Structure 1
Amino acid sequence: MRFDYGGLKMGRVVPSPDNCIFALDIGTRTVIGIVALVESGRLRVAAQYAAEHESRSMFDGQIHDIARVADTVLEVKRNLEAKVGFRLTRAAIAAAGRSLVTRQCRVEMEIDGEAEIDAALVNSLETAGVKNAHREVESAGPGSAEKYFCVGYSVVKYYLNNYPITSLIGHRGSLIGADVLATFLPDSVVNGLYSVLRRVGLEPVNLTLEPIAAAEVVIPESLRLLNLALVDIGAGTSDIAISRKGAVVSYGMVPVAGDEITESISEALLVGFDEAEKIKRALEKGGTIGYKDILGVENTITAEEVAALIDPALDRLAAEIAAAIIELNGNEPPRTAFCIGGGSRLPGLTGKLAGKLGIEPQKVAVRGREAVGNLIVDEEGLEGPEGVTVVGIATVAVQRLGQQFIKIKVDGKEFSLFNSGGLSVSSALSMVEFNPRDLIGRNGRNLKFTLNGRPQVVYGGLAKPAEILVNGSRATLKTPIKEGDEITVLRARDGEDARAWVRDFLENPGGISVTLNGEPRVIRPVCILNGAEVPYDSEIKEGDSLDIKTVRTVGDLLEGMDLQDYAIMVNGAAAGPGYELKDGDSVSLFKRSSSGAEEAYRLIAEKKEESDPPGGREWITVRVQRQAGPA
């Protein structure tokens, strides 16, 4: 996105798609959106809108129900579009510090000592620091399936020829360096935000961490010499940033916030979560609060009584936030703590937090938009502490616009990806919701059955693996990608499941033609599938039992007969039961008591005599006993 500061009308810049930034604060309970632009060096909020989730679709800053969160974001988007009169297609967003991992790295770079250091060179130095931090994070948990993405960073200190310096731009030197504090979140958190944006037709233009965004406007550089703590107390998380010695030096998060107080009210008064939330918000006004319990009974309670009920939960909340602040601050309390976010409105919280930190009560203060310098807001509303973070998101986006995202194409579609350093094909595909199943084909299922009592396996077809191309060249999931690259994925193809038919296991399905005692016969295999005779085109299923009976010999042909009582001739020659039949054979069978038996026996004897070896013959005697005829 480019910014055009022209189009003045009555001394004001006219909002347009070219000069505005759409910032979204997607919180556990509320989504806040603003359309802002830069005017005379100040950030001007031209339109703003807030909407609550209709159900608990987020917990502890993590999106659980993407569709419901997207519905709330869409409501905010449409209302803002109606106010500004043009479509919003890109959004700056921030992630809560759930599962936050931070790394501080020192990075150095040798440069041309005669060249003046410019912003591009400083950006390259900072990016190198982020990449080093990213490698440390990835290597810290080998074997973990979770990947981490950088969601923001800050520079603790710059160095010029090994000397600390507040800014490198415009200087000359041979060695520049920086201490970079980079923050990382699991890809599940980041991808959830991306999924919501895609569902409502928005492209991410900038991604940061909520405490980074808040610190940008609540703790400006002029205050960072002081040891300050910033706590963004939302509904599900309390995000923390610590400053001292001119920089923001640490970030953290505790997964407790306003929802813990709401839940304690719900349990104490037997009301639903939404009703408990209304009671909690009414505490600021004091007086008597009316409510309806889960039995439908109308009740009233004073704000003082509610405060007494939530006091233990409030004490625990303050204790956990204070413990995290002290740990992040080197095991000592800060000089002052600023509280923002809707949860900071809880009566009594700042006093308890001061007590847990061990500092004076007046040094823990709630900050609203009045604390943000160089800010103009065109319409009323959201002046309190809940409207600060979204302004910080917009401010960070204006400062870093175009530096954090790269554009690539995946299968012809263009995507903007957060440039967390060291992007590869794998990380790109994960961020555009590419289904990993498309990369790995499945071999076809094998078919197992029994054939003539023996196990038989017909193997399924082999899968065809996926092919990955980057700019038309073969690549792998580990191939690095950069701005403008085009990734093409030829998806894997599953192998076909094995199928088989009875005919596949027949040697001669057409059979053979023989003549038996002058009668022509065609002899074909008989197929028994699961105990029943079936045709040859029957399909075999998993676990079937197939038996194939094939007539191969004279014995097979005459199966079931006692051949000891018969003489056998094939094609006029004597033969035994083991004779293998061939197409066209003529088989004759003579019973010993028949009139033709003597001739058959004589032929058998002659055949035997011809086959005797030279020098010796063995004579056999064939006796035929005729049955006496009628007298």
Structure 2
Amino acid sequence: MAKITFDENNAVFALDIGTRTVIGLVVEPKGGQMKILAQAMVEHQSRAMLDGQIHDIPRVTEAVLKVKSALEKKLKAPLKKVAIAAAGRSLKTCRCRVDQELVEDLEIEAIMIHALELLGVQRAQELLAEEALPGDEEKFYCVGHSVVGYYLNDYPIANLEGHRGKKISAEVLATFLPASVVNSLYAVLARVGLEPLCLTLEPIAASEVVIPEQLRLLNLALVDVGAGTTDIAISRDGTITAYGMVPTAGDEITELIVENLMVDFMTAEQIKRSLGQGGNIQYQDVLGIKATVNCAEIIKMIEPAVENLAAEIAGHVLELNGQTPPKSVMCVGGGSQLPSLVEKIAHKLGLLPQRVVIRNRSHINCLSDTRSKDLTGPEGVTVAGIAALAAKKRGQNFITVTVNGRPFTLFNTGHLTVLQALSRLNFNPRELLGRHGKDLQFTLNGKPKTVYGQLAKPAAITVNGRPAHLKTLLQDGDVILVEKAINGRDATAKVGDFLEGAAAGHQQLCLLNGKPADPEQLIASGDVLEIAVLQANEHNREFSMPEVNREVLPAAESFAAGRRPAAAPADQVSITVLVNGRTVVMTGKKEYILIDIFNYYDLDPGQAKGKVSIMRNGHAAEYTELLQDGDVIEISW
């Protein structure tokens, strides 16, 4: 026998803590293959685990310690780190859609998309909490998420980055495990002096070696029949598209044997495992009476239960696969060896019998040196899958990081980012992305004018005191600080912001929505601001409005005409008005409006102080009012 050379830096220890057994496997990955260095199996001496979950930590610890000690004896070296898997029964998935309103015409950046995904994960976690029964305070940890689709203004889109719109959305599929499941696994490992190297799910591990990536273009189903649960995975289009679980498995058959033969659970397990050998089975019942039973009798006795298990498995496979049967079903796990189970699954799915098969270690291409006769059957597949996943993710272990002063432990997938770390906390993703201030849009002298709001200050992220971002990769011991984003201020403007310095002999008049405006008056979105520059005539010092300034005003005369009945055609008329006590004769037009007086009245710009006030016949007047002969006008500041 070749001497075993163990190097903990180039070896993987995998542990399958199952409902009936604990299986340990140590392999040496090399060149895409895994060489088996040592393996051991111990059976629980009591029902310390039910339905794939640890119920009795001390008894499970005892079984794990036996496996660890047996492996260390073979390797002549201590084992410190281990890859483990959690049962699919505890798996919860949640699919939800989240929306984020944006400032229109704002380019979508990567940080917005990441914040949206984080919002989706947190929303999924909230939905799980809402589904919890009153008094149930079980916490769930997200072990992974994927984006099913993005939306821009409610239309599907492949990639949001670089686009512009009013709303972005994402449909997120998040996967969770309850804290109690993870904590119980860690508690067992801590008691035997092991550190977690890799955590995965049992159906994911089995899929790694039974349906490798090169087979996932086919529509296949993996069925892992254990003692407490039956895990299911579906592949198609190059990926695993769904995971599921049937809450019945081999233990239900064992319990039926217990009831009918009056034996204890361990004796019933031994009888069940002997059914494939045929012939007679001798046993002793709980009363101490020895008896003999033929395998055919037991098979007939358990057939209804096997039929029910096959029906549940087939029904769940169809549900996960869109109510259509897959091309083939691959069965693993000790329970898959139940007499006639695979035949019944094939019948219920409408598949040929040869399309539903049992896979054992001889079908695992990446596993070399399988000469050992131990654990070569379907019961040894899942632990090999755990080892294969750990080998693929070598060096990706658990790390401890600190976020805003709070330390916590995360499983390192090898690409653990700040975004993933924040998703484990109750961190509000809206605090990562501030809101830009609203723009102010109005009309200035007949042309659109925009005053832009203040840009938001995005969240400031540092890792170990250095600037970072949501995609920054993390390492063990990293210290993360996140300062909340600051919203930008909305744009504001006053009338006076658009008054330019008037030259000597010039005066500026302001109309805001057709009314005289003070320079300190605030402008609102949709307002119409008109500014006229009045200049003195070189000969008579009377102020006149240049044609260019009439053009920038909203055609005051036309505006006034629109507010009164159209005048009947007439010859030019003259009117006389009194302006600040001075008589002014206005000639050359059919009619006159108030603003026309500045073509005749000598206004002293040096007297202008503050807001202009114009009274007509004792009442406040607008520049577009129609003048009548004899009107009394008073102009003041």
Q: TM-score, length-normalised on structure 1?
A: 0.57
Secondary structure of 1:236's counterpart equals: coil
**Structure 2 counterparts to residues 120-519 of structure 1, below 5 A:** 134-142=121-129, 144=132, 145-151=137-143, 182-377=174-369, 380=372, 381-403=374-396, 405-408=398-401, 417-418=410-411, 421-422=420-421, 483-484=476-477
Tell me: CA distance 1:277–1:45, structure 2 relative to 1, closer, same or farther (3 Å): same
| 1:89 equivalent in structure 2 | 80
1:49 aligns with 2:40: yes
Tell me: CA distance 1:335–1:262, structure 2 relative to 1, closer, same or farther (3 Å): same
Mapped to 2, the partners of 1:33 and 1:190 lie a distance apart of 19
How far apart are 1:126 and its partner, in Å?
13
1:435-481 residue CA offsets vs partner (Å, 9 max, x unmatched): xxxxxxxxxxxxxxxxxxxxxxxxxxxxxxxxxxx999xxxxxxxx9
| Equivalent residue letter for 2:282 | G
Mapped to 1, the partners of 2:158 and 2:325 lie a distance apart of 26
| Equivalent residue letter for 2:477 | G
How far apart are 1:128 and its partner, in Å?
8.6
**Aligned partners of 1:98 and 1:185 also within 8 Å:** no
Mapped to 2, the partners of 1:419 and 1:200 lie a distance apart of 22
Larger Rg: 1
Tell me: CA distance 1:130–1:174, structure 2 relative to 1, closer, same or farther (3 Å): closer
Mapped to 2, the partners of 1:58 and 1:125 lie a distance apart of 44
Tell me: CA distance 1:179–1:190, structure 2 relative to 1, closer, same or farther (3 Å): same
Mapped to 1, the partners of 2:236 and 2:361 lie a distance apart of 23
The range that moved more, 144-153 or 303-312, is 144-153
**Aligned partners of 1:137 and 1:148 also within 8 Å:** no
Tell me: CA distance 1:39–1:142, structure 2 relative to 1, closer, same or farther (3 Å): closer
Mapped to 2, the partners of 1:213 and 1:388 lie a distance apart of 9
Alignment gaps of 5+ in structure 2: 99-109, 151-155, 164-168, 414-419, 427-462, 466-473, 481-637
**Aligned partners of 2:232 and 2:244 also within 8 Å:** yes
Tell me: CA distance 1:131–1:22, structure 2 relative to 1, closer, same or farther (3 Å): farther
1:206-231 residue CA offsets vs partner (Å, 9 max, x unmatched): 10010001111110111111111101
Mapped to 2, the partners of 1:374 and 1:213 lie a distance apart of 14
| 1:440 equivalent in structure 2 | none
1:38 aligns with 2:29: yes
How far apart are 1:405 and its partner, in Å?
2.6
Mapped to 2, the partners of 1:393 and 1:47 lie a distance apart of 15
| 1:613 equivalent in structure 2 | none
Mapped to 1, the partners of 2:211 and 2:170 lie a distance apart of 21
Count of residue correspondences: 400
1:517-564 residue CA offsets vs partner (Å, 9 max, x unmatched): xxxxxxxxxxxxxxxxxxxxxxxxxxxxxxxxxxxxxxxxxxxxxxxx
How far apart are 1:485 and its partner, in Å?
5.2
Mapped to 2, the partners of 1:400 and 1:128 lie a distance apart of 27
| Equivalent residue letter for 2:280 | T
**Structure 2 counterparts to residues 5-44 of structure 1, below 5 A:** 14-44=5-35
| Equivalent residue letter for 1:234 | G
**Aligned partners of 2:14 and 2:26 also within 8 Å:** yes
How far apart are 1:54 and its partner, in Å?
1.1
Secondary structure of 2:89's counterpart equals: coil
| 2:93 equivalent in structure 1 | 102
Tell me: CA distance 1:293–1:152, structure 2 relative to 1, closer, same or farther (3 Å): farther
**Aligned partners of 1:130 and 1:182 also within 8 Å:** no
1:62 aligns with 2:53: yes
**Aligned partners of 2:6 and 2:77 also within 8 Å:** no
Calculate percent identity across the aligned residue pairs. Answer: 54
How far apart are 1:245 and its partner, in Å?
1.2
Mapped to 2, the partners of 1:368 and 1:181 lie a distance apart of 32
Mapped to 2, the partners of 1:125 and 1:86 lie a distance apart of 50
| Equivalent residue letter for 1:135 | Q
How far apart are 1:188 and its partner, in Å?
1.1
The range that moved more, 223-232 or 378-387, is 378-387
How far apart are 1:407 and its partner, in Å?
2.7
Tell me: CA distance 1:368–1:425, structure 2 relative to 1, closer, same or farther (3 Å): closer
1:153-196 residue CA offsets vs partner (Å, 9 max, x unmatched): 689999xxx9999xxxxxxx989x99986532211111111111
1:557-602 residue CA offsets vs partner (Å, 9 max, x unmatched): xxxxxxxxxxxxxxxxxxxxxxxxxxxxxxxxxxxxxxxxxxxxxx
**Structure 2 counterparts to residues 611-626 of structure 1, below 5 A:** none
How far apart are 1:103 and its partner, in Å?
4.3
**Aligned partners of 2:122 and 2:423 also within 8 Å:** no
**Aligned partners of 1:25 and 1:32 also within 8 Å:** yes
Tell me: CA distance 1:259–1:142, structure 2 relative to 1, closer, same or farther (3 Å): closer
Tell me: CA distance 1:156–1:341, structure 2 relative to 1, closer, same or farther (3 Å): farther
Secondary structure of 2:59's counterpart equals: helix
